Amino acid sequence: MESLKIIANAYIITCDPQNRGGRYNLLIRKGRIAEVSDRLDLFTSLHPYATVIDASNKLIIPGFVNAHFHSESLLLRARTDGLHYALWKNDLRFQECAKGLLDPLNHDDLRNLYLMSYFSHLKSGTTTVAEFSLPLNDKAFGHMLHAIERTEVRSVVALQNWDQITKAREPGSGRHRFVLNAGREEDFNVYGFENLIRSARELKVPMLAHVAEQRADVELVRRNFQKTILGVLQDYTVVSPETVFVHLNHLSSSEVEVLADCGATVVVCAWSGALKRTGYPALRQLAAQRIRLANGTDWANVDMLAELKFLQQLHLLISSIPPFSPLQLVRMATVNGAHALGLSHETGSIEAGKKADLTFFSLADMRLPVISEFADAESLASLLVNHLNTRDVTDVMIDGEFYVAQGHVMTMAEEEVVDGFRRTYAKYHEDEAKKIPPPPLLAIEGPLTRAKHKVLPFVAQGRAAQPLEEGFESGFQPVEKPPTLIEIRTSNINVEPPTQTPPATTKESPRPRQEPSKEIWRTFGDDEEF
């Protein structure tokens, strides 16, 4: 029997071409979204054996797509905080840490690092990450890919050298998608471009242009080639709709027109640019040309929602930067990111035929504003960007299966991930740990040393702590404790047909919420395996 799930009565932002938003029900078949509808009774009558999940107190969006990230930043950020990006290459401690990760003997450190990075993304609601990897050798690169695969998060990995290109040709690498990095501006040369383009064609992968992050890079290319960066890339056929363009903080108007003409998508990393002090993306020019924008966190940040909040407020600080609506921002972090990475046919939006990659936010907090029954995509996006954060992520689904449930990773003990990363972090920052003096010993004489302190329990006086009722959790709220843990046969469903054809939903007549029989609800309130 085929695997069927019905997610019922959720608030949903689809990010599809129609930009639908409101209360909808999802039918998921074999890991893909089969249908999106406001007719729950239709789903349950046509699929009586499906597992039904009550999501009436949830907001569901497509899983975030982080279109540009350096996982090593989680380990190196202690070396880069407060340091201008141009000075990183001159910082000896930073270089020592980076070299340590490239050492063939430190494969365990790579595993700990990438497990931490990708499980952190997963818990934050991100289901796809574009990894700008380290220049690892083929064996170390294989360890990195294996660690990423262990988390189930989708990845698009930038190939950085010939060892990695060779590894990407192996049959076992099919689980991952790849792009081929065009290289640093200081290394641009005719011979290198010709070889890279030939390799990209052989591998059938797009190119990645990680360019114009610093003004100095732009000036270097102009001196060496007597052309702009986009002019050089255009000469070597790197400029195309499939190419992943990242940063582009310092572009001329003519270069932006080149991008617009080719139909490219640009990945902007505004918060990271501010922290590195490299400048902001050329948002005014890009927006004026209606170029599709995607979002990446780039350095030391896995929180896509925090990135959107920063980008939303940036126009208040810099008048030349255009404001973006909440829905535009959500699309930048989902379907636009999927477009940039060549995955828009698979993920990035909630519509029939796409993978069921979904992020669930709890709406149970009493401090949230009241949601109107007429809520549309824009108002729900405003709720998400202005009032929620990634700590409100309760559940994350990839390929129709839950890999985060009630805020906990389901496939690996979180303590194991954190402990492994802490060991690696201590190893690379041992000198910092030695600088921290031990806490001073208290040698206080007098009555204070002889006092006996009464320790009170953390319970308000006069009130006893009440145990939670069995089956009650902060996740999906049960209507009634279900008879089984995972699949609920619904052969005895008795869904009353409507006595008359319901009127079309309008702003004047809210769509009533439909509920099936109590027998069919399944919740995450019980311990269960997926």
Contact 393, 359 (CB under 8 A): yes
Q: How confident is the model at residue 430 (pLDDT cuts 50, 70, 90)?
A: confident
- CA–CA distance, 47 with 403 (Å, rounded to integer): 24
Q: What is the mean pLDDT of residues 192-196?
A: 92
Q: Is the pLDDT of residue 513 over 80?
A: no
- The per-residue pLDDT for range 225-247, each reduced to its tens digit, is 999 999 999 999 999 999 999 99
Contact 337, 329 (CB under 8 A): no
Q: Is the pLDDT of residue 466 over 60?
A: no
Contact 100, 424 (CB under 8 A): no
Q: What mean pLDDT, rounded, does the chain reach?
A: 86
Q: What is the mean pLDDT of residues 373-393?
A: 96
Q: How confident is the model at residue 483 (pLDDT cuts 50, 70, 90)?
A: very low
- The per-residue pLDDT for range 258-303, each reduced to its tens digit, is 999 999 999 999 999 999 999 989 999 999 999 999 999 999 999 9
Identify the pLDDT of residue 489. Answer: 39
**Other C-beta atoms lying within 10 Å of the C-beta of residue 17:** 9
Q: How confident is the model at residue 11 (pLDDT cuts 50, 70, 90)?
A: very high
Q: Is the pLDDT of residue 185 over 60?
A: yes
Q: Is the pLDDT of residue 223 over 50?
A: yes
Identify the pLDDT of residue 437. Answer: 57
Q: How confident is the model at residue 529 (pLDDT cuts 50, 70, 90)?
A: very low
**Which residue has 């509808």 as its token pair?**
37
**Other C-beta atoms lying within 10 Å of the C-beta of residue 131:** 25
- Helices 107-123 and 73-80, axial angle in degrees (round to 10): 90
CA quadruple 416, 418, 423, 427: dihedral positive or negative?
positive
Count of residues for the chain? 530
Q: Is the pLDDT of residue 492 over 50?
A: no
Q: What is the mean pLDDT of residues 394-409?
A: 97
**Which residue has 């220049």 as its token pair?**
135
Cβ neighbors of 91 (< 8 A, separation 6 or more) are 79, 80, 83
Identify the pLDDT of residue 436. Answer: 52
Closest listed residue to residue 308, CA positions, set 174, 126, 175? 126
**Which residue has 């890339």 as its token pair?**
233
Model-wide pTM > 0.85 = no
Closest listed residue to residue 136, CA positions, set 103, 166, 105? 103
Residue 212 falls in which region: left (phi positive, over 0), alpha (psi -120 to 50) or beta: left
Q: How confident is the model at residue 88 (pLDDT cuts 50, 70, 90)?
A: very high
- CA–CA distance, 244 with 519 (Å, rounded to integer): 49
Identify the pLDDT of residue 445. Answer: 47
Q: How confident is the model at residue 480 (pLDDT cuts 50, 70, 90)?
A: very low
Strand pairing category for 51-54 and 4-13: parallel
Structure-model confidence comparison of residues 439 and 175, the more confident one:
175
**Other C-beta atoms lying within 10 Å of the C-beta of residue 405:** 21
Identify the pLDDT of residue 473. Answer: 40
Identify the pLDDT of residue 174. Answer: 65
What strands, in cross-sheet order, belong to the sheet with 154-159? 292-295, 265-268, 244-247, 207-211, 177-181, 154-159, 126-132, 64-70, 298-299
In the chain, the amino acid numbered 139 is K
- CA–CA distance, 159 with 237 (Å, rounded to integer): 18
Where is average pLDDT lowest: 344-348, 388-392, 495-499? Answer: 495-499
What percent of the chain is predicted at pLDDT more than 90? Answer: 75
In the chain, the amino acid numbered 138 is D
Query: Quick one: which H or E segment has residue 450?
Result: helix 447-450
Q: What DSSP assignment string belongs to 2-65?
A: --EEEEEEEEEE--STT--EEEEEEEEETTEEEEEES-HHHHHHH-TTSEEEE-TTEEEEEPEE
Q: Which residues pair with 35 in a beta bridge?
A: 27
- The per-residue pLDDT for range 93-149, each reduced to its tens digit, is 999 999 999 998 899 999 999 999 999 999 999 999 999 999 999 999 999 999 999
Closest listed residue to residue 40, CA positions, set 28, 52, 49? 52
Contact 220, 231 (CB under 8 A): no
Tokens standing for residue 286: 């890009």
Q: Could you give all domains of the chain from N- to C-terminal order, each with its CATH number? A: 64-346 (3.20.20.140)
Q: Where are the beta strands (DSSP E) in 151-264?
A: 154-159, 177-181, 207-211, 244-247
Please give the distance of CA 393 from its chain centroid, rounded to a whole number: 12
Closest listed residue to residue 267, CA positions, set 279, 283, 289? 283
Identify the pLDDT of residue 181. Answer: 97
